[in-house]
Amino acid sequence: MAPELTASPFRVALVALLLGWPSAAVAEPYAAAYGGASFIEDTNLAADLKLNGATVSDGRLYDLSLEPGVLYGAKIGYFLPYRLLGGQAGLEVEAYRFENAIRPQRARFRGMMSGARVDAPIAVQRADADVIGTALNLLYRVPLLSSDELPNGRVQPYAGVGLAVLIAELSTRTSPFEVNKEVSDTDVQPALQLLAGVRTFVTRNIALFAEYRFLHSEPFTFRFRATGTIGGGSFVETARDRTSLTSHHLAVGIGFHW
């Protein structure tokens, strides 16, 4: 009679531990540069405007559309010399910049304007958003098409999550003056980012990659102050705009791996 084979809980746990236990791999530092496009989702903007301290408007603009923008950046990273569940974990630091513009449009405004309740489309002038970010990402990659020359794989799908610090500048123009002026302000907020991509090695040390990034920030607050004339009288305009940023980045780049 053949012996009965049973899987005890101890054996199951041992097998699971061995499958997940880090095994030897090749460590891999790298540096890369990339460029691409930035797409910011339609956003709602809380805005208030005062002249000489008196409120002119206080409300919210809905579904503001932004034009696609240019993205570029660089990163350095390091994959650990261990395999975990068949892949490798790594860390990278990156810095990037992207610029998008709020195009002239009509957007729905809800709030108070000149003392009256308003719920109607109003004209919105152009504004430019310029964002510089630095981020720390935790990555995981899967090696495909491994060889003696490329033990970590010629093709490497990867995904990651990161924390970013964004420095955003919003530039626009004053609106009520006889001669309007350019105004701008800067704010700093944290953001969460998720990314995924695929890297392909064209030589032992040089790889091309394509990457997607999702980025969502805490709300930015921009404050503006300018002086001008209305009907010959002198006025001080103060304004405050507040909005968060949700963007999608598509990038392609080249990296050097040691």
Q: pTM for this one?
A: 0.86
Helices (H), 135-236: none
* pLDDT, tens digit (0-9, with 9 covering 90-100), for 79-89: 998 888 889 99
User: In this predicted structure, what is the pLDDT of residue 174?
Assistant: 87
User: In this predicted structure, what is the pLDDT of residue 24?
Assistant: 58
User: In this predicted structure, what is the pLDDT of residue 9?
Assistant: 52
- Where would I find the beta strands (DSSP E) of the chain? 23-24, 28-40, 43-51, 54-64, 69-79, 82-83, 88-102, 105-113, 116-124, 127-141, 155-173, 182-201, 206-217, 220-230, 233-243, 246-257
Amino acid letter for position 76: I
Domains of the chain: which residue ranges?
24-45+58-164+186-218+246-257
Phi-psi category of 34—alpha, beta or left, where left has phi over 0 and alpha has psi -120 to 50? Answer: beta
CATH 2.40.160.20 correct for 24-45+58-164+186-218+246-257: yes
User: In this predicted structure, what is the pLDDT of residue 178?
Assistant: 87
User: In this predicted structure, what is the pLDDT of residue 157?
Assistant: 98
Sign of CA dihedral 125, 106, 191, 142: negative
Q: For residue 71, give every residue at least 6 positions away whose Cβ sits within 8 Å of its Cβ, in sequence order, or none.
A: 35, 36, 37, 38, 96, 97, 98, 249, 250, 251
**Which residue positions in the chain have pLDDT lower than 50?**
1-6, 12-21
* pLDDT, tens digit (0-9, with 9 covering 90-100), for 91-136: 999 999 999 999 999 999 999 998 999 999 999 999 999 999 999 9
Give yes or no for a contact between 164 and 138, defined as CB atoms under 8 angstroms apart. Answer: no
